[in-house]
Amino acid sequence: MPPSLTSRERSARPGAGKTDPTDAVAIARLTAREPGLPPVRLAVGQAADLRALADYRAQLVDERTALANRTHAELHGLLPGYQARIPRLTAPTFITRASELIAAQTSVRAALTRRRLARLTELTAEIGEVTDLITAAVAKVDTGLTGLYGLGPIGAATILGEVADVRRYRSRHAFAAANGTAPIPASSGRTSRHRLNRSGNRTLNRVLYTMAITQIRADTEGRAYYLRKRAEGKTGREALRCLKRRLSDVVYKTLHADLAAGRAPTAAGR
């Protein structure tokens, strides 16, 4: 159940606050009132494994990003101008170089920074190991998603794990609404326009965004579509949203093709 829906339902009952009973009542009311909501599907087997692996990798990446940002701040104080030689701390080569630069420093900050760099090394290695596990798991599913430009094993695993069963969505339009790529009408008078949809599954939305950006940067059908939208007078952001919506349809079609070919990962309904 989208959190935004339950939040609006609770706001209609001031003073009730947020508790498990009030959430249960809100969900029950919404389920009875909104027949278009996709049914619940619990991922099991391959789908559950893919989701667990993708989630775990995402957590590791988030942890590494936060730690790298903190380490950059410390290095800036210890070695002003260091960033000319070490632009990022997400590769073993740069991490080793940073350690070498402060190896002779004996301050407490330098000692703590070395600890952070050691942890970054561990995280980078573990992210690589989990990435290999995801690649192997996706290969077993043999999904057509990996054949789409800009969608590798990580993106495919994320989609398969989040969707669980594409039959939950009655149409490509329902799928787009669920992943937040369906634009929201925001017309007024003679002005006809749509605005950004900030609801839906943001994890799926992020995968589609990455896919769209990757296609725009290369000589692909996605780039050609994006340029056509720009030629029609749309802004860069509007054209990007159009492309994401189009890619949502492509992913939806591919998932159904997987299902028809018997390649879909196992999932159970409830």
pLDDT in tens, 61-97: 999 999 999 999 999 999 998 888 898 998 999 999 9
Q: Tokens 């609801």: give the residue.
A: 199
Tokens 């909501």, residue located? 37
How far is it, in rounded angstroms, from Cα 151 to Cα 142? 14
Mean pLDDT of 193-206: 79
Above 70 in pLDDT, residue 37?
A: no
| Phi–psi pair at 121, nearest 5 degrees | -65, -45
Pick the more confident residue, 35 or 147.
147
Task: Look up residue 249 and give its two tokens.
Answer: 């349809």
pLDDT score recorded for residue 270: 40
Residues 40-48 have a mean pLDDT of 70
Name the DSSP letter for residue 13: S
Least Cα distance to 157 among 204, 125, 200 occurs for: 204
Distance CA 87, CA 174 (A): 42
**Residues 6 or more apart in contact with residue 72 via CB below 8 angstroms:** 83, 89
Any idea which residue has 């589609």 for tokens? 208
The Cα 51–Cα 64 span in angstroms is 20
Torsion of CA 8, 201, 34, 43, to 10 degrees: -130
Average pLDDT, the chain: 86
The mean pLDDT value for 47-72 works out to: 96
pLDDT over 70 for what percent of the chain?
A: 79
Q: Are 167 and 230 in contact (CB under 8 A)?
A: no
Say which residue the tokens 């050609």 belong to. 224
Q: How far apart (Å, rounded) are the C-alpha atoms in residues 70 and 109?
A: 12
Quote the tokens at residue 222: 């996605």
pTM confidence score: 0.79
Q: Residue 43: beta bridge partners? A: 267
What pLDDT is stored for residue 43 in this prediction? 55
